[in-house]
Amino acid sequence: MKRQKSFKEITDQYGVLYLIPTPIGNLEDLTFRSLRMLKEVDLIASEDTRNTQKLLNHFEVSTKQISLHEHNVKERVPELIQRLLSGETIGQVSDAGMPSISDPGHEFVLAAIEAGIRVVALPGASAGITALIASGILPQPFLFYGFLPRKKNEQKKVFETLKTEKATLIFYESPYRVSKVLEQMQPYFGSERLVTVCRELTKIHEEYLRGTLGEVLEYLQEHELKGECCLIIEGQLKEEIIIPDDLLNLTIKEQVEQLIETDKITSKEAIKQVAKLRGLKKQDVYLEFHQ
């Protein structure tokens, strides 16, 4: 066990590691305290020094920077720890939002704690929480997941684990993959699960898409998204239509054929069932089946 007093009864002569949040879009979201600490620390450890320099220039901050990102963290952290032990104060920032949340920084925090250095976090902007409270979906309890794996099979394992989760789910995603991710998600969560897609948070083109998973997917088939996105997914609050395991990995045409054979129903009824299961229009399933 380790006990930390952040501001009073300090006996060591070490420096302090300040975790400083930066704006997620609108520069006015930088707090007065964060701005003061950016000016007062001896050094700023930045995920991307070029990106952070734009912020520093805007607020006329002249503090020197050093890079700290996923590719140099093993070499850089010991160097930074030595500087803290010698009495320097360091502010750690990511490109946007809170350090360590889907960004580098956690290894630095762990090393500082292990070395007996005070770690002080400042409150500030966070895309996930910002999106959550405006989503219209139950804000608590929630489960923050962050970025999903890129590979489809790994995504499916995540969705299989989370499909009965009752807490609201928060994901970060690239606009180019949102539609594909929701398509992958649908067989596990059902087409009636509430979804809010938030993009360009705090920026001039901020936008919220609120609806069922099926409705949002239908919209995205005809509209292109731009800007970083945050997905807020309703937890499992009621019984939902889930695609059975024997149909899960089949194409639309194969699903229709499977239902015709196993349930002894007409193609028309099978098409209707698949459309409902996948949250698609019946005519789209019809065309896919008869192409």
pLDDT, tens only, 202-238: 999 999 999 999 999 999 988 989 988 999 999 998 6
Give the residue with greater pLDDT, 258 vs 212: 212
Q: What's the pLDDT score for residue 207?
A: 96
Tell me the pLDDT band of 107, cut-offs 50, 70 and 90. Answer: very high
Please, which pLDDT band fits residue 254 given cuts at 50, 70 and 90? confident
In a domain, 275, yes or no: yes
Residue 240 forms part of a structural domain? no
- CATH of residue 42's domain is 3.40.1010.10
118 shares its domain with 139: no
Same domain for 64 and 22 = yes
- What is the structure's pLDDT at 241? 54
Q: Check residue 67 and give its pLDDT.
A: 95
- Are both 63 and 105 inside the same structural domain? yes
Domain holding 227, by residue range, is 128-233
Instruction: Please say which residue of 108, 125, 142 terminates a domain.
Output: 125
Q: How much is the pTM?
A: 0.79
Residues 22, 97 share a domain: yes
Note whether residue 253 is domain-resident: yes
Answer whether residue 88 shows pLDDT above 90: yes
Strand order in the sheet with 142-147: 142-147, 168-173, 229-233, 194-199, 207-212
Domain boundary among 125, 143, 173: 125
Q: What is the pLDDT of residues 160-208, one digit of tens each?
A: 999 999 999 999 999 999 999 999 999 899 888 999 999 999 999 999 9
Are 158 and 198 part of one and the same domain? yes
Residue 228 covered by a domain: yes
Q: What percent of the chain has pLDDT over 70?
A: 96
Where is average pLDDT lowest: 27-31, 45-49, 219-223, 261-265?
261-265
Classify residue 238: in a domain, yes or no. no
Number of domains forming the structure of the chain: 3
Mean per-residue pLDDT of the chain: 91
| pLDDT, average across residues 47-65 | 97
Residues 42 and 132 in one domain: no
Q: Say what the pLDDT of residue 281 is.
A: 79
Higher per-residue confidence, 103 vs 151:
151
Confidence at 154, pLDDT banded by 50, 70, 90: very high
What confidence category does residue 244 fall into, taking pLDDT thresholds of 50, 70 and 90? Answer: low
Q: Where are the beta strands (DSSP E) in 12-116?
A: 16-19, 43-46, 65-67, 90-93
- 23 lies in the same domain as 120: yes
According to the model, what pLDDT value does residue 248 have?
Answer: 63
Query: What 3-state DSSP class applies to 272?
Result: helix
Domain boundary among 233, 259, 281: 233
169 neighbors 233 (Cβ within 8 angstroms): yes
Judgement on whether residues 102 and 48 belong to the same structural domain of the protein: yes
Q: How far apart are CA 285 and CA 291, in angstroms?
A: 10
Q: Is the pLDDT of residue 242 over 60?
A: no
In a domain, 94, yes or no: yes
Q: What is the DSSP letter of 148?
A: P
Identify whether the C-beta of residue 99 lies closer than 8 Å to the C-beta of residue 92. yes
Q: Are residues 254 and 271 in the same domain?
A: yes
Terminal-residue alpha carbon distance, the chain: 65
Report whether pLDDT(265) > 90: no
**CB distance 164 to 236 below 8 Å:** yes
Return the pLDDT at 246: 60
Quick one: pLDDT at residue 59? 97
Q: Do 39 and 72 sit in the same domain of this protein?
A: yes
pLDDT at 64: 98
Domain presence at residue 6? no
Which of 250, 237, 147, 139 shows the shortest CA–CA distance to 189? 237
Shared domain for 100 and 144, answered yes or no, is no
The alpha carbon of residue 47 and the mean position of all alpha carbons in its chain are separated, in whole angstroms, by 17
Structural domain contains residue 7: no
What CATH number is attached to the domain comprising 199?
A: 3.30.950.10
